[in-house]
Structure 1
Amino acid sequence: MTDLRYPLHAAAREGRHDDLKSLLLCGLHDVNEATFELVRPLHEACFCGQYECAALLIEHGANVNLSNIDGGTALCDACCNGNLKIIELLLNSGANVNPPFLMTTPVHEAVFRDNWKCLELLSKHGALLDKNDCHYGTPLHVAAYKGYIKSAEALLKAGASPNVSKTHQTPLHEAARSQDLPLVHMLLEHGADVYARDSQGCTARQLVPCSTSLCKLYLQEWERTPKTLRFHCRMVIRRAVDVKKLKCPMQLNLPKILVRFLQFE
C-alpha cells in the first residue's frame, strides 16, 4: 500500500522509478524528507535493494550520510540488503564507510545477514573491523555467535583481530560455547588467545558444555601443544604488514608465495 504521508519513501521502497522521478521533478518534496524515525527515501531504497531509485535520489541531491534515529546510514541499510552495486554507488558518492553510530555499523549489518562479499568491499574502502556495537561486540563476535564461517573468514583475512573483547569475552568464547569446531579452528589459526578468560574467569575450553565434545578436546590440545615456528612467523608478519593490502600484493612488494602463506591459502 502506498504511504500517502511519505510518497517519496513509498516510491523508493517499492522501486517505482518513474513515479519517484515525477515526484522529485514537481518540486513539492524534499529529497531528504524524514519520517518521525528520521528514515529518508534513500534509506528505503537501499534497504530494499532498489538501485535505480537510490541512484536517482543521489542524482537529485540526497545526502548519503544522514542517519536514522538509531544512527544507521544508507550504507548500513545497503549492507543489510547485500546489494554490492548500491554499496559501491554510496561509497563512490561520498558515503562514510565508518559513520558515527549509536547502535551498529555497516560492517555489523553485513555480518548480521552473512553478506561476506559486502565485508570484502567495505574492508577495501577502509572500514574499521574491530568496533564494538552496543549488543554483541565486534563484527567477529557476531560472526562467531551466528556461526557464519564465511563472514568470519572475510573479517580475519581483512585484518580483524580475534582478541578484541566485549566485557572480557572474545569471539573464541562465542564459538566454543556453540561447539562450532571449524570456527574455533579458524580463530585459533588466526591468532585467537586460547588462554583468554571472560568476566567469569573462564577460558573458551571451559565454556564448551559437553565434556567429551571434539571442540573441548581440540581446545585442550591447543592449550597443551607448543605452536610451530611456521605459526609464529605467520602471526608476526601479519602484524607487521597491512593485511588489507594482501588482496593487491603489488602494493606490498611481496612474493606471491608469501602472500598466499599470509592469507592461509
Structure 2
Amino acid sequence: MDQDAVRLLVKVTQEGDFSQLLKLFQSCGPSACQLVHLGRSGDSLLHHAARHGRLDFLHFLIGDVGMELEVCNLDYKRPLHEAASMGHTACVSYLLRRGARVDCLKKADWNLDLIQELIQHSADPLLKNKDGWNAFHIACREGDPGVVRYLLTAAPDVWRTESKTRRTPLHTAAMHGCEEVVQILLERCGYTPDAKDSCGVTPFMDAARNGHVSVARLLLAKHQASPTAADTLGAQTVHHVAVTGQEEALHFLVRELNVDVNQRATGMQLTALHYAAKEGHVSTIKTLLDLGANIHAQDKKRRTALHMASIGQHADAVRTLLQLGLDDSQDASGITARQHAKKPHIMHLFD
C-alpha cells in the first residue's frame, strides 16, 4: 500500500469523514487491514480514531475490519490511552466493553466520568508508574476535588503512597497550589506533619517556594507544619524561598512568622541572601535587605553574597551589591569575588 494512500487514510480518520474511509478501504483491499505503525509516532488508525473521538470509526475498525484494539504505538500507548487522555468517554466505554486492558496511569487529564468508568471496569488506582506515582498522585497534581474525593471513596487507602523519591500526594498538591485538594487531604488522610521526601523537603516548603502562600498558611494552621524545618542540606523554607525568588512568601515567613531572615543553612552556613545572590534575583536581594538581611554575612568559606553573585555569573546582582556598598573581599581560599567572575563584562564591574 503506497504512502499517499496511507496518509489519506490517516487524514480522513482524523477529520471524521467516515464515508471516505469506507471507499478507501474498499479500494485498498486487504492490505489496509494490516496497517499498524504509521508515521514517526507509530500510531495505528485506531490511535487516530480514539484520539479524535471517532466512535463510529472504532466500531468499524475493530468490529468490522478486526483490527487489534491493544496495538501499541512507539510510545507504548494503546487506543484506550488516547481516548482517555482526550476525554472521549464514549470511546473509552466502547474500548472497555470490547475488552481493552485497563491502565489508569498513562495520562493525568481525565475527568471524573472517565475515572468512574475506569474504576468500574476494575482499574487499579494503586498501580504505580516507573517513578512510583499512582493515580492519586496524579489526581492531586491536577487539583480536581471531585476526582480526589471519588478516589478516596473508591479506594480509601489510596493516599498511603510515596513516589520513589518519597514524595506524597500532599507534597504534590502543595507544590502545585491545589488548596482545595490540600484541605481534603488534611481532613481525610493521615499524613504525618512535615513528612520529608528523599531531599528532606516538606509540603510546607513546597508550597512556600512555589509561591502558594495560602496553601502554606493552611498547612501551618491545620497540619502543624514547621516553618523552620530543614532539608538534608540544612536549608530551611526561607532559603528555598530565596532560591525561587518568592517575595510574598519571604514577607510571610519573616514578617508574620518571625523567621530569622539571617538564619543559616547548617551545611555551608549560607543565608537567604547568599541563595538569592547565587540565583541572580536582584529584586529578592533588595527585599531581603529591607527585611533585615545582613549584607556582610559570610558563609563557611567566608564568601559574601557578592561572591555568590559572581559565581553565578549574574551581572545585575553583582552591580546591585556593589552599589549597595558591599566590598570585594577575599574568601577563605584568598579568592575575590572579581576572580570568581568568568565573563569580562562582569569583571569590569569591579573596576
What's the TM-score once normalised by structure 2's chain length? 0.53
Equivalent residue number for residue 156 of structure 1? 289
Structure 1 unaligned regions, length at least 5: 218-265
Which residue, out of 215, 218, 239, partners 1:108? 239
Higher relative contact order (CA 8 A, sep 6+): 1
RMSD across aligned positions (CA): 3.0
Is 1:118–2:253 an aligned residue pair?
no
Q: Secondary structure at the match of 1:101?
A: coil
Query: Corresponding residue for 1:49?
Result: 177
- Flag the structure with larger Rg: 2
Counterpart for residue 74 of structure 1: 203
On the 8 A contact 1:12/1:42 being kept in 2, the answer is yes
Alignment of 1:94-243 (within 5 A): 94-103=224-233, 104-124=235-255, 125-129=257-261, 130-132=263-265, 137-162=270-295, 163-176=297-310, 178=313, 180=315, 183-186=318-321, 189=324, 192=326, 194=327, 196-205=329-338, 207=340, 210=344, 215-217=349-351
Name the CA shift for 1:51/1:212 in 2 (closer, same or farther; >3 Å). closer
Are residues 9 and 199 of structure 1, via their aligned partners in 2, closer, same or farther at CA, if it must alter by over 3 Å? Answer: same
**Structure 2 gap ranges (5+):** 1-106, 109-124, 129-133
Q: Which amino acid aligns with 2:315?
A: D
**Aligned equivalents of 2:319 and 2:207: distance in 1?**
30
> Residue deviations 1:10-69, cap 9 Å, x none?
210111211211222446316453233221111010112211111111122433411111
**C-alpha contact (below 8 Å) 1:49/1:83 kept by paired residues:** yes
Sequence identity (%): 25
CA contact (8 A) 1:38 1:69 kept: yes
2:317 and 2:161 mapped to 1: Cα distance? 47
Among 152, 155, 167, the alignment partner of 1:24 is: 152
Task: Write the letter of the residue equivalent to 2:232.
Answer: L
Answer whether contact 1:195 1:204 (CA < 8 A) is retained: yes
Tell me if the contact between 1:181 and 1:214 (Cα under 8 Å) persists in the aligned partners: no
Q: Deviations over 1:84-117 (max 9, x none)?
A: 2212222222210011320343223222222122
Is the 1:97–1:127 Cα contact (8 Å) retained in structure 2?
yes
The AA in structure 2 aligned to 1:81 is: N
Aligned to 2:16: none
Count the aligned residue pairs. Answer: 215
